[in-house]
Amino acid sequence: MNALLVAINAKYIHTNIAVRYLQKFAAPHLSEPPRILEMTINNRTDQILDEIFRHDPQVLLFSTYIWNVRMVQDLAREYRKIRPDVLIAAGGPEVSYESAAFLRENPPFDLVLYGEGEKTFSQLMQALEQGEDWTGLSGITWRSGQSIFQNPPQLPLDLSQLPFPYEAQLIAQKDQIKYYESSRGCPYQCQYCLSSIEKGVRMAPLDKVFSELRLFIDAKVRQVKFVDRTFNCDRKRALSIWKFLSENDNGVTNFHFEITAELLDEETLAFLSTVRPELFQFEIGVQSTNPETLLAIRRQNDWEKLCKTVNTVKSFRNIHQHLDLIAGLPFEDYDSFHKSFNDVYSLQPEQFQLGFLKLLKGAGLFRDREKYGLTARDYPPFEILSTPALPYEDVLRLKAVEEMVEQYYNSGRFVHTLRWLFTRMDDPFLFYQQLGDRYVENRLHLSSQSLESAYSFFYEFAASLPYVNGETLAQYLKLDYCLHQRPKRFPAWYPGPDAVRLRRDCIAFLTEEENRQRYLPQQKEPDPQKLYKLCWFEPFSFDILSGVDSPCVLLFDYSRRDLLGNAHAEKVTLPKLAD
C-alpha cells in the first residue's frame, strides 16, 4: 500500500518529527513502508502538488499546523480533482481538536487522525493493506457520505515503544535543527496552550534517551531542540540527562530546552555552572507578570524566584536564556503589558520573545473566548485582534514594538549598543515604543530593510535622544556592526579610519607568525595579504570592551563565532611604522 506522509515546514532549517514517528512506527507492520515528502511553506502550492502526484500515493496524509493548514486545504482540494479515489487524511494539532468541524468544512478529506497518531496510523495502514474495515479504529474522525463520525480516542503510547525518528543521512545534515522528544504531556494547565489538555506526563526510559542522544552527539549535529513541554518537571531526571550531555559533550552540539526556571534547585544550578558555554539553551515562558492575568490563564509564576534563578544562570555566562511574553491575554491592558515588558527586559535575557495570543482550537482560552471577550482572526494563526482591555489600536502599536525587539534585540546585532543605551534610560518599553512609532511613521514596516539601513535608522533615532552622545553611540554601533561582518560599505554615521595607513599597519602585524598563531589560531592562510581579507581590524576612540578612556584597535576573527553569530574580538597593538 503506497502511503505518502506530507510535511510542510515553516522553514527549511526545521524538520518534521511527527511524520517520521508515523513512518518508523508503522513500517515493521507493512509490506511497503510509508514515504515522506518534506517541503516548506515557501514552496509554491503547484510545486508541492506536482511532487505529490509524482509519488502517486494511494493514501495521502498531511501533517497539519497553524502555519500550513491553508496550504494543506488547497492541496487536498486540488489533488482530489486529480485522484478522486485516493484516501486523503490529516493529522496534527490544527485538526486534532474540532476534527468533526474540520471534516464538515473540508469535503476533500476522508478522515482525521486526532491526538497521538503512531498507533492509529499503523492500524489504519494494516487494515487497508489487508482489505479490512478501518472505520472502527480508535483515534479517528471520519466521513461516510454526508455523515461524520468520531471514534473514541486512542490509548496513550508507551514511550518505550516510540522509535528513533531520524535516519543516519538526515542526522548528518548540519544545516537543519533536529527535534527530539523525551516526554509527552505537561503538568501545568496554561489555558492558552494545547499541552494543558493532556493529563499527566509520560517519559521515555532514560537508557533509551541516552542511546538516542548519543546518535546526535556522534554526528555533531549543530542544534537539537527538545520538544518536551516542561523538560525539568522531574528535576532528578532532567539533571541526569543534562549530566549525560555534559559528560559526552562533543564541543559542537547545542541542546535547547523549554523549562520552568523556579524548578531549578541549588544542586542543579551548581552543576549548570560547570557546563561548556553554548552547550545548553533554556526557553522560559513568563507570559505576563500581571497577577490577575496569570490567575485567569492558570499559570503559577513565582516571580521573585524566577528572577533569582534567571540572574543566577546569567551569572554563569554559559547558557543562553530565552524569555517569552504573550500580548493579548485576559485583563492585560497596554499599561499592564508595559510593566510586564520592563519586568522581563530587566533580566536581560539573550532572547526576548514578544508574541501575541493565538486562540488555538482545543485550548481553554478558545473555549472561554466569549467569557473574556477575546476577538481573534478567523484564519491561521488565529491571532488576537482585541480584548476588552486591549483595543486593536493598542495591538497594532505593540506589533511595532515586537518588530523593533526582533530586529534590534533578538537579532543579536546590537547587543553592546543597547547595553550602553540602557545604562542611560529607565524605561526600555518606552524606547522600543518610540522607535516603533518612528519606524511606522517612516513607512519602513511596509518593505524589507537592508542591514545598513537598519543600522542607520537606529543611529538617527537614538542620536536624537537628549541623553545620548552621538559620537559614543557611533562607536558602539561600529563594534556591533564589525562583530557580525567584515565591513564593505561605510554608512554616513560610521566613523571610519585612515584606511590606507590602517591596512599597511595590519598587514605588518599579520606578517609576524607569532601574531597569527595567537590571535587567529584557526586561520591557516600564511599570506598576510590574503589573511587580511579574512578578518578585520577596527580602531576605536576608547577601549570599548572595558570602557576605559584610551584608544584601542580590535581584531575580529570571523572563523570563530558564538551561537549568536558574534565574531571573536580581541584588543591588539599594531606596529608603529614610519610614514
User: Rounded to whole angstroms, how far apart are CA atoms 94 and 18?
Assistant: 13
Same fold yes or no, 3-150 and 159-390: no
> 468520531: which residue's cell?
150
The CATH fold assigned to 3-150 is Rossmann fold (3.40.50)
pLDDT in tens, 131-145: 999 999 999 999 999
- Determine how β-strand 320-327 pairs with β-strand 552-561: unpaired
Dmax over CA atoms of the chain, in Å, equals 91
561: enclosing H helix or E strand: strand 552-561
- Across 275-393, the runs of DSSP E, i.e. the strands, are 280-287, 320-327, 351-356, 375-376, 384-386
Least confident of 229-243, 399-413, 536-550: 536-550
Instruction: Give pLDDT, residue 173.
Output: 79
Which pLDDT band holds residue 531 (cuts at 50, 70, 90)? very high
User: Taking a C-beta distance cutoff of 8 angstroms, is the pair 1, 129 a contact?
Assistant: yes
Cα 475 versus chain centre, distance: 31
Which pLDDT band holds residue 560 (cuts at 50, 70, 90)? very high
Give first-to-last CA distance, the chain, whole Å: 80
- For 556, residues 6+ apart whose C-beta sits below 8 A from its C-beta are 482, 483, 486, 535, 536, 537, 538, 567, 568, 569
Task: Name the DSSP letter for residue 34.
Answer: P
pLDDT exceeds 90 at position 499: no
pLDDT exceeds 80 at position 310: yes
User: Rounded to whole angstroms, how far apart are CA atoms 149 and 328?
Assistant: 35
pLDDT in tens, 52-109: 999 999 999 999 999 999 999 999 999 999 999 999 999 999 999 999 999 999 999 9
Q: What is the mean pLDDT of the chain?
A: 94
Which pLDDT band holds residue 194 (cuts at 50, 70, 90)? confident
Q: Summarize the confidence of residues 495-520 as an average pLDDT.
A: 88
Q: Summarize the confidence of residues 532-546 as an average pLDDT.
A: 92
List phi, psi (to 5°) of 107: -55, -25
pLDDT in tens, 353-390: 999 999 999 899 999 999 999 999 999 999 999 999 99
Written as nine digits, the cell of 533 is 581579507
pLDDT in tens, 12-49: 889 999 999 999 999 999 999 999 999 999 999 999 99
List phi, psi (to 5°) of 535: -135, -165
pLDDT exceeds 80 at position 321: yes
Percentage of the chain lying above the pLDDT 90 cut: 87
- Determine how β-strand 201-203 pairs with β-strand 140-144: unpaired
Least confident of 110-119, 412-421, 446-455: 446-455
Please tell me the total number of residues recorded for the chain in this structure.
Answer: 579
pLDDT exceeds 70 at position 577: no
pLDDT exceeds 80 at position 174: no
User: Rounded to whole angstroms, how far apart are CA atoms 396 and 540?
Assistant: 40
User: Rounded to whole angstroms, how far apart are CA atoms 428 and 218?
Assistant: 43
User: Rounded to whole angstroms, how far apart are CA atoms 484 and 233?
Assistant: 37
Task: Name the DSSP letter for residue 164.
Answer: P
Q: Summarize the confidence of residues 515-536 as an average pLDDT.
A: 92
547-561 burial string, b = 16+ CB within 10 Å, else e? eeeeebbbbbbbeee
User: Rounded to whole angstroms, how far apart are CA atoms 140 and 89?
Assistant: 10
Q: What is the DSSP annotation of 288-354?
A: ---HHHHHHTT----HHHHHHHHHHHHHHTS-EEEEEEEET-TT--HHHHHHHHHHHHTT--SEEEE
User: Taking a C-beta distance cutoff of 8 angstroms, is the pair 39, 62 a contact?
Assistant: no
Which pLDDT band holds residue 579 (cuts at 50, 70, 90)? low
Instruction: Give pLDDT, residue 123.
Output: 98
The CATH fold assigned to 159-390 is pyruvate-formate lyase- activating enzyme (3.80.30)
Q: Where do the domains of the chain lie?
A: 3-150, 159-390, 391-494, 497-572
